[in-house]
Amino acid sequence: MQTVTLNNGVEMPILGFGVYQIPPEQTERAVSDALAAGYRSLDTAAAYGNEEAVGRAIRAGGIPREELFVTTKLWVSDAGEDRARRAFETSLRKLGLDRVDLYLIHQPYGDVYGSWRAMERLHREGLARAIGVSNFYPDRLVDLIDHNEVTPAVNQIETHPFFQRTAYQELMRERGVQIESWGPFAEGRNNLFTHPELTRIAEAHGRSVAQVVLRWLIQRGVVVIPKSVRAERMAQNIDVFDFELSADDMAAVAALDTGASVFFDHRDPAMVSRLGTVTLDS
């Protein structure tokens, strides 16, 4: 598995398995299938409600802990120095682990700075090998970097052929932050899986559109965490390291960028208010 080296020297697989929107009752089976397919990086979050199922699959899989890279995230309702620490301990308990490899602030709302202070301590204590953020736009990311001791290792953001974030990726590279894609397939929006240009490239390589999209992200140096509940799709999604897109292929995909989210804008006041009021069951 190809890896990227984070700003603190920790190595992270460039391709992992995400469990967003997988119901808890299906998650253990899905993660077990993913581990069997060769995935070693797993991405969950307190807000997904399936950390316990991820933990059960890890224990059942019998894979040495040092071979796994486990990410989870802090939700808005748990923001703040004291609450963030308690939320992290809850996630560890649910996962059944003594540390995580990456802990992210899930949304750029609430007491972000209190949360970050708590996370810096978790990092110093070795409970989180790396810490980072998710869904931070450039202004919020730069402000966090400029006023804190530890620079986020990762920023996990919406990144796919229709919202490519190339200029932002360059800013992150300059600041030592690794870009990670959520929603690499745009959840099929804009007819991604049947898009004529992506289909043309896929047919030229004897691959699926999904494989082309993942390969395009990997060649850009973007960490990616595709999700599926089907074992055959999991196997297909991880089978992207034995072909390469040409410069013309990369340019053709680059031409699909709309420069806008296909989901929602994290700077929209209504969305900020909506996400900021969602609380989690402990």
Residues forming the active site = 48
CB 100 within 8 A of CB 43: no
Closest CA to 180 of 157, 214, 201, 146: 157
Sheet holding 178-182, edge to edge: 17-18, 41-43, 69-74, 102-105, 131-134, 154-158, 178-182, 223-224
CB 163 within 8 A of CB 189: no
CB 43 within 8 A of CB 71: yes
Helix (H/G/I), strand (E/B), else coil: 167? helix
Do the bridges between strand 41-43 and strand 3-5 make them parallel or antiparallel, or are there none, so unpaired? Answer: unpaired
